[in-house]
Structure 1
Amino acid sequence: MRKKEIFIFILVFLFLSLVGIIILDIEIEMKESTNYSTYNNGKNGTRVLYRLAKEMGFKVGRYEKSARFLPDGVTMVAISPRINIINGSLERKYLLDWIERGNTLILIGSKELLIGNNYKILEGQEEYAKVFSYFGDNRMYNMGNGKVIYLDNYRRYTNDSIKNLDPGVAFIHALQVSSNEMILFNEFYHGLGREMPLLDVIGFTGRIILAQLMLAIIIYIFIKSRRFGKPAVVYKIIKREENENLYALSNIYMKAKANSMVLEIVYEKFKNELAGFLGYKGREINYDEVFNEAQKNPLFKGMNIKELAGNCEQYIKNNINDKRKMESLYIKLEEIRRVIRR
């Protein structure tokens, strides 16, 4: 039965691993096939910009969450963002707040002149400066303490088109003007990533509370599963010999009140095992001598065998009816028996 359970466990583990690999493979394939994504190595991908920024000495990364969670002190690059995502009311609010706090957005958008109609973040922004005029209708808007650098015609910045050099030069100039060492390429605006990650929503304090709750649950489950005298349960009852014996003793005590007799049986078995372990044979064994010899043996150091034997004999002789004391004596006898069985 044990082999069957191990086999089932291995099958479940392999199945879950296979599912995880398939899901990961699908996710990677989706990222690599998304147009204007920095994961994409194809003609319509923009991985070349990611590599270019890295080669120029900037610290680069990808960002796959809402603007609500953007860190400060970074420049974010958004290449041909999906209009329905970047123009969402909440997303627009969080993005504008982030820019006005002193951060920079490099927005590589369409070539149409109606910029404010296409990207609501720039709606009503009449004042701007022409930048990198040698290549395209590129603009810089000051917004609060931050700025938006707008580069027109995102099709010029793909892996296939940027070999013309001019768009690459304009992009590097934009990074330099942004004055931030850390550059994040936004993939959330391509439909990748998650809008509201749970750990980000609950914040640092919430994570600590969640970790404490999980730890408390684990400890509670561990304590409940390790109650002394009760067998552990995994797929079936796993019998631990000493616990099963004590559990049986407890039942006998509850039903027959005969614990002194039970202890006597266990004690006699203990004496025989100890005598045999120390090399005493025959019917006429002087157990006082056995206990004295055991007391000197370093294997039983600190176990006070003579005192334990005296307590057991007194309990049996006086027919004491004390469950806790009987269990205490039994546990000590079992500790010595475990040393003998090694």
Structure 2
Amino acid sequence: MKTNNNRKIWLFGLFFIIILIIITIFVAPNNNKLNRGSTYNRNPDGYGAWYAYMEKKGTPIKRWQKPLEILSNKESITLLQIYPNNLPSALINKQKDWLKKGNKLIILGVKKSVTEANFTTLHDYKLGQIKIETKRRNKEENDTILGDKFGAIIWQEKIGKGQIIASVTPDLAANAYQDNPGNYEFLAKLVTETGNPIYVDEYLHGYKDKEVIEKEVGGNIFSYFAKTPILPIFIQVLVIIIVLIWDKNNRFGQIIKLVKPSINNSSIYIKALAGVLEKAESSDFVISTINLEEQKQLQKLLGLNDKSLNSERLIEAWGQQTGQPIKELKSIVKVAEKKSKINDASLKKWLEKWQEIREKINN
């Protein structure tokens, strides 16, 4: 039984580990990448600390959790997009019509070529040095805001009444740079210098307003989970529930058949005989039989197995070994020798005295 239980535990553990590995390989990495740059993310690659920094400064900033098509109706705003994966620069052209209306777009994480620049570089800024960790640079001719001899790190372009600012690094003011105030203040300057209302694109990271979710998936919550970072947690909880249900139904291991209780014929016979003797009022026979058996057991306890002793010799041997008065044992044996009938209460008391005799030997 114990072996089967151990086998069941090992099967549970192995099954659960396999499921977690599958989730980690195929689901978790994608969602972790999607969450990179989100203001909801408290990990080193998130922007939760910078968002809190802006709120502490008293700068109005809102999270945008709707499709950009809806945002296209708004004019004279600043939109910050932090791409979890490097954005091909060709995709920026899609926003040009919206930018011409006087809007400002700041994109962190535009894919450019790798150069010979050091991975970590420091750049002077009036409110503290700006720390950059990437070898990518924009070598094209542009209006550079921040750069070095290898090319632009952050650059800008005027488009009609609007403006676009792009950065090769998505981690300009990530949580990992909380000890670099220059990074936080530099990004704050970029988003506030025009005085427009500021929005941070969280729809990009899979976060959506309630009405958007209902419209997209028709109230199907599982479809929503499949598109958000909540999916790994949801799947793990579901797996745990399934395993627990499976365990309660005992589906692992071989089926254990119920064993029929064995019939104790000796016990049945003794009980039947006792009933007959009680009805026949044969207490004298019961006492005589028990007395003989008790004397045999007493003789064994005294270590006299190889000798056949009569009642008197047994009583004397008991007195010598225990140091107890022999009249106590004599009175018990005498009840059996009289062969007279006694009531149930007296019979019970007589049996208790035999028990006391045995206990005195054990003590």
TM-score by shorter chain over 0.5: no
Q: Which one has a bigger Cα radius of gyration? A: 2
Higher helix share: 1
What TM bracket, shorter-length normalisation?
A: 0.3 to 0.5
Higher strand share: 2
Q: When the two structures are superposed, what TM-score results if normalisation uses the length of structure 1?
A: 0.38
Q: When the two structures are superposed, what TM-score results if normalisation uses the length of structure 2?
A: 0.36
